[in-house]
Amino acid sequence: MENFERFPLTIYNSLSRKKEAFTPINAPFVGLYVCGPTVYSEVHIGNMRSFITFDVLFRYLSHLGYKVRYVRNLTDVGHMLDDDGEDRVLKRARLEKLEPMEVVQKYSNYFHDVCKQFNLLPPSIEPTATAHIIEQIQMAQKILDQGMAYVSNGSVYFDVEAFDKKHGYGALSGRKIDELQSNSRKLDGQDEKRSPLDFALWKNAGPEHIMRWPSPWGEGFPGWHLECSVMSTKYLGETFDIHGGGMDLKFPHHECEVAQNVASSGEAPVRYWMHANMLTMNGTKMSKSLGNAISIEELINGGKFSRAFSEMSIRFFLLQAHYSSTVDISESAIEAAEKGFERLQQAWKALINMERSSGEANMELDAATKKLLDQVYVELSNDLNTPKAIAVLFDLANTVNSIKNQQIPGSSLTEETLSRLKLEFPKILEDILGLKLSSEAKSDHLDGVLELMLRMRNQARADRNFALADQIRDQLKDAGVELKDGKNGTEYELN
């Protein structure tokens, strides 16, 4: 039985505004799309909260046995105007004396470096807006053909009122079109629009605009929302399973995505919408525009607080809150998380070489330990509840430390439960939560795993199950571990 059958996943769906059982369209395959960064400057720790959230989701779905296609885009054109109406890439290019695409490449590389620092797995596909200009022009034309858009002065605008009359606008955010009209403000290109709510599918490029492409409506560039509609459905199908992003993207970005897809194909694009909430500083949303964003360098090299913190301490700090809740960052909060992570690492290290002593098992404790191991998966399957899962890990760490400190007998757990604990405790921390061990602990952990495999092989040989013994030897060899049988036993060598 696959783990996704043992621990069925539920997700809070932003579209229905309730928690729902997760049923992929074509299980065991899952299509996951996440809005990536706009690559004109450095990402900050507030940005990374969203990416870490969906990294854990990707890891957990894969761990449950799903075959996940994870698509995360890079926005390298569109949505680039600052508060003064100036293109951010062009502004940065001028300041740094670079070509616009040099700026894009520089900050794409920076983002990838930060992802490695925080131990994020790479997505299955990482498309860019500039590589999908043709497809964006095609979708804009489809929306025009459906009467849901219009051309004005070389730009193409989505007609929100026309769409609302036929399909209803605001299903994701819950915003009503009348309220939006009364609260609209003066923005760039407003004189070209029929309504202030209309948004650009394609923008006419002025003579100063370097990033421009030919289109049926003249030279220009795509609107921000269009790229995600195009790239998500190109790689995942017209309707796919999960779309994730930051809470600040729910409106207008994701709302506009829904409208574009429905207008283009008649199909709602996403079954489950997930939104990671904001990171705050002194109760205020962290953002570049507000000037309170904390850079990655300030955290890991020092500068913002009185001391520096490791990437894994910061990652652990972020995972101690549910992704849907706001988190206020402070030095004391990260220090507390650092101590908690170290406590789990100590339990991890204690488990590596822990052997069951002879004696009668405490069957009540044994059953409780197995239940706690299951409970970690139950919590993670409950809308990715990482704080409750971590709380269960601390309960397991208490049992490990009690055995280590001889507060309870070393025979308290059965061999089966101890082996399961030794295998699953590090797997949950490292493979699912993405928390790296310290190099010392990792070395000890590798030795412990290899010793366990050797004991299994020796037992197979003692049982004259030579096929299993040979299979273990061959698979270890494929993994770079050479076994050498001798009169003094079996030794291993890393290749």
Q: Which of 261, 276, 291 is where one domain is finished?
A: 276
The answer, yes or no, to whether residue 417 has pLDDT greater than 60, is yes
Task: Check residue 116 and give its pLDDT.
Answer: 97
Task: Check residue 84 and give its pLDDT.
Answer: 57
Cis previous bond, 409, omega within 30: no
Judge whether 486 lies within some domain: yes
Strand 155-158 relative to strand 220-222, pairing: unpaired
| Structural domains counted in the chain | 2
The answer, yes or no, to whether residue 443 has pLDDT greater than 60, is no
- CB atoms under 10 Å from CB of 264, counted, come to 25
Round the average pLDDT of the chain to a whole number and report it: 91
Q: Using an 8 Å Cβ cutoff, are 279 and 49 in contact?
A: yes
The answer, yes or no, to whether residue 47 has pLDDT greater than 60, is yes
Q: Which of 276, 305, 340 is where one domain is finished?
A: 276
The residues, ordered by sequence, that sit 6+ positions from 480 with a Cβ below 8 Å of its Cβ are 494, 495
Judge whether 231 lies within some domain: yes
Judge whether 316 lies within some domain: no
- Top pLDDT among 63 and 478 is at 63
Task: Check residue 440 and give its pLDDT.
Answer: 58
CATH number for 259: 3.40.50.620
Judge whether 382 lies within some domain: no
Q: Which of 242, 276, 310 is where one domain is finished?
A: 276
Judge whether 435 lies within some domain: no
The answer, yes or no, to whether residue 2 has pLDDT greater than 60, is yes
**Beta strand ranges found along 277-425 (DSSP E):** 279-281, 284-285, 327-328
Structural domain including 475 reads 442-495
Judge whether 323 lies within some domain: no
Q: What is the rounded average pLDDT of the residues 264-273?
A: 96
Task: Check residue 439 and give its pLDDT.
Answer: 57
Task: Check residue 141 and give its pLDDT.
Answer: 98
Judge whether 131 lies within some domain: yes
- Top pLDDT among 260 and 89 is at 260
- Beta-bridged to residue 427, according to DSSP, are none
- Top pLDDT among 486 and 223 is at 223
The answer, yes or no, to whether residue 80 has pLDDT greater than 60, is no
Judge whether 135 lies within some domain: yes
When pLDDT is cut at 50, 70 and 90, the band that residue 285 belongs to is confident
Percent of the chain with pLDDT over 90: 73
Distance (Å, rounded) from C-alpha 243 to C-alpha 172?
12
pLDDT, tens digit, 9 for 90 and up, residues 170-185: 999 999 998 887 665 5
